[in-house]
Amino acid sequence: MRFTPRLVPVLLGLLALSLGGCSYIPWLAGEKDPRPPTELTPVVAEQGLTTLWSINTGKGTDGRRLSLVPAHQNGQLFVADARGLVTAVNASDGRVLWQRDTGLPLSGGPEVSGTRLVLGTTNGELLALTVADGSELWRAQVGSEILSIPRLAGEQVILHTLNDSIFGFNATSGEELWHYDFQAPILTLRGSSTPLILGDHALVGVSGGRLAKVELATGLPEWITTVTPPRGRSELERIADLNATPVVAGQTIYVAAYNGDLAALDLTSGAVLWRRALSSYAGLTLADDTLYVTDADDTVWAAKPDDGAGLWKQEALRYRILSAPAVVGNTVLVGDLEGYVHLLARGDGRLQGRVRLAKGAIQAPPLVIGGRVIVLGADGTLSASTLGTGTLGGANTSTSGPAGNSTPAGSPPQASTQVPQPVPTKT
């Protein structure tokens, strides 16, 4: 039985999980990892990142894979760590504006809108704080771990929990307005997709390879589409989860499933327009007329949004547990397990440079704000950088030498022939 190296941090964070009879993971017992991270080779620094500021904001994810990400509003950044510390930072100079120790095991968020911050915890609490100083407004119990980012939608907070329940809460009082339970398979990936708010609906990826369009007024699904039907004979082989947040352009939704497909759906009906075999856990982004996807083997793909046909793929970073891609200018950015941000050319995927911005992994995709690149490391390092030709940040480790080659991909993306197995959790 093979387990994808990309999901090792998930396993390390939760050794208490039941593995459905498969409890022996060789490389965790001191044996050689069968798919070790690709070693970095020298790369010609065509592009670089100049670090404007870098600060420590706490303990980060505390060695676990969580959905703790930077949030931005009105020139301020908000971050949280797994031990309950919430920090507000001036985005221009990195100056700490306030910190609040909640004492809670934070695991999802923050999300910011107006005067409120919302976050989730591993013990199933939803927390609302003030933007002004982090004072607590309210908290609510949902009964299941929160491993996604709560979303503020007008006067509601929309939440997706680990047991595949969707909740709507009053954003002012914390009162539960509704919830809807999706039936989950026996085994699922440990994680939950973050809802995408679209007007008076939310798009939510759930276990079993399904995507749902949910009415915010009632919590009822308008439609549920199986993007990737479960395949295989065992429950482990049949895991097909949509943990990556969907992206939308016009009337088309783009999603990627673990152990499944990259697909496009019609926003109104939920009908599948096309699908291509490509397994992804980290996620995808859309910039102009191109989809960028980090697959389950940590190959970075560019694909056409009209049919999913591959434009290029970059395999020089395989098994480095990459983040979802972000795009700034003509450059694609991904973070990795050692705190490096890799810069790829949008046109052909060639490696243009890399910068080490944290000592720990970079799990959250880089956040691009007005040309600045905000990166939060799993060790709690928060930094702001700018992109420039030939400019290197203080922590840049790129050296002269041959760049990693990208591979043209005239045919649609295909999944690895050795399908990596996820870290499962029983429902």
In a domain, 397, yes or no: yes
User: How high is the pLDDT of residue 184?
Assistant: 64
According to DSSP, the residues that pair with 180 across neighbouring strands are 166
Write the CATH number for 57.
2.40.10.480
According to DSSP, the residues that pair with 326 across neighbouring strands are 333
In a domain, 348, yes or no: yes
Residue 47's domain spans which residues?
1-16+40-66+315-406
User: How high is the pLDDT of residue 305?
Assistant: 97
Number of domains the chain contains: 1
- 38 token code pair: 């690709």
In a domain, 395, yes or no: yes
Name the stretches of the chain with pLDDT < 70: 1-31, 184-191, 230-240, 389-427
In a domain, 255, yes or no: no
User: How high is the pLDDT of residue 188?
Assistant: 53
In a domain, 351, yes or no: yes
Provide φ and ψ at 5, rounded to 5°: -55, -30
Q: Supply the pTM of this predicted model.
A: 0.85
User: How high is the pLDDT of residue 190?
Assistant: 62
Query: Taking the CA atoms of the chain, what radius of gyration do you get in angstroms?
Result: 20
In a domain, 101, yes or no: no
Q: Please provide the DSSP assignment of 75-135 as one string.
A: TEEEEE-TTSEEEEEETTT--EEEEEE--S-EEEEEEEETTEEEEEETTSEEEEEETTT--
User: How high is the pLDDT of residue 35?
Assistant: 84
